[in-house]
Each structure stands twice: as C-alpha cells, then as structure tokens.
Amino acid sequence: MFRFSNLTQVPDKDEQNVILSTPVPKNSSIFDIKLFIDKKLTKTEKTEALNTIWTPGKNYDFPITLYGSKNLKFQMSWFDKWSWIAYSGLDDGIYCKYCVLFCVKQGGKGGQSLGQLCTQPLKNWKHAIQKLKSHEASNYHINCVLNFQHLSAVISGEESSVYDQINKVAKKTKRR
C-alpha cells in the first residue's frame, strides 16, 4: 500500500517501482490512472489521488492510431469538455477518474462487469465523443461522482458520515 501524503516530490524510477510494486515504463508516471485500477485505497487516499493523477502537458505527443484511412489521436481539448477523464500514457487511452477510484465491482443493469472508462481504457478515438457523452449520462458514473462528493464533504467536515448520522438518530431514539 502506498500513501500519497508521504510523497513531497515525484520519486525517481527505482523508488516508484518500490512504492507501487508495479514496473513503470520510462516515459510514464507513477500517477498514471491505469495504476489506480483495482488498488485498495483508503477514502482519504482516493480523494488525494484525484489531485495527483497524471495529466499530460500541452506539448505531449499523443500516439496516432489509424482507423480506416484516418489518423486519429486523443484531443487535449477533451480535458476541458470532460473534467472527469484521465489520460493513461501506459494505455494510450482514457478512463473516468471517479469510476476508477470510487467504483464497485459491477454496475449497470443486472450487475454487469465494468468495462471502458472504468477498468478498461477507451482507445477508440473514432467513437470517443459518443462514448464519453453516454458514460457521463450513465447512472453508474453519476453515483461514483456523488460518492466522491459525499466523501469530500465528510472529510472536510461539511457533512457527517452515514455512520455518524445513524448513531445520532439512535441516540435520539434512545432518549425518548
């Protein structure tokens, strides 16, 4: 298990491999979104992760993929349009930050396994805009965002945790 709060600067490559126990290629970051998939993180680590997930710089050279006769690649402008996406240099694909960090193992109707944007990268740039719009409107995504918002409010002290709320009600009921 690694802790973000202990990292005051980006570790060198040897330290990165110790922290994650996962080899990180030379041109990638220990904060690549792919490395957070299926990681057991505390609630605080999840919220900290949102602030540390790697984002490519403006001069990042995104790989080009050939679709039929078209050369397509990730568009930097998509970050402005969908603030919840994170690009993975390891996968040349994108994920939903909230669904990766605040997911449950299944979602959708009938408890389907999670796929693109949650546990698998979206890499098909030809249909990316439709997929992003569809994901953003899904109940699963909306619930993950709400889970994050509630957790942030609890951590900041703006709200009580569900556990604390239940205890308050139980105490009031006992007094009566």
In whole angstroms, what is the distance from residue 48 CA to residue 39 CA?
A: 14
Higher pLDDT, 35 or 106: 35
| pLDDT band per the 50, 70, 90 thresholds, residue 8 | very low
Judge if pTM exceeds 0.75. no
Q: Say if CB 102 and CB 149 are below 8 A apart.
A: no
**Positive/negative CA dihedral, 31, 154, 82, 132:** positive
In whole angstroms, what is the distance from residue 166 CA to residue 11 CA?
A: 42
In whole angstroms, what is the distance from residue 64 CA to residue 125 CA?
A: 10
Kindly state the average pLDDT of the residues 148-153.
86
Q: Say if CB 9 and CB 15 are below 8 A apart.
A: no
Structure tokens at 79: 């970050």
pLDDT of res. 140: 87
In the predicted model, what is the mean pLDDT of the chain? 80
Q: Which residue has the tokens 């994920």?
A: 95
pLDDT of res. 164: 61
Longest pairwise C-alpha distance within the chain: 74
Using alpha carbons, select from 65, 52, 42 the residue that is nearest to residue 97: 52
pLDDT of res. 156: 77
Q: Which residue has the tokens 């973000």?
A: 4
Q: Per residue in 38-91, pLDDT tens?
A: 888 988 899 889 989 999 998 899 999 998 899 999 999 999 999 999 999 999
Helix axes 139-156, 128-137, angle to 10 degrees: 60
Kindly state the average pLDDT of the residues 4-27.
47
pLDDT of res. 18: 41
- Could you tell me which residues come within 8 angstroms of residue 171 by beta carbon, excluding any fewer than 6 positions away? none
| pLDDT band per the 50, 70, 90 thresholds, residue 167 | low
Using alpha carbons, select from 11, 6, 84, 18 the residue that is nearest to residue 45: 6
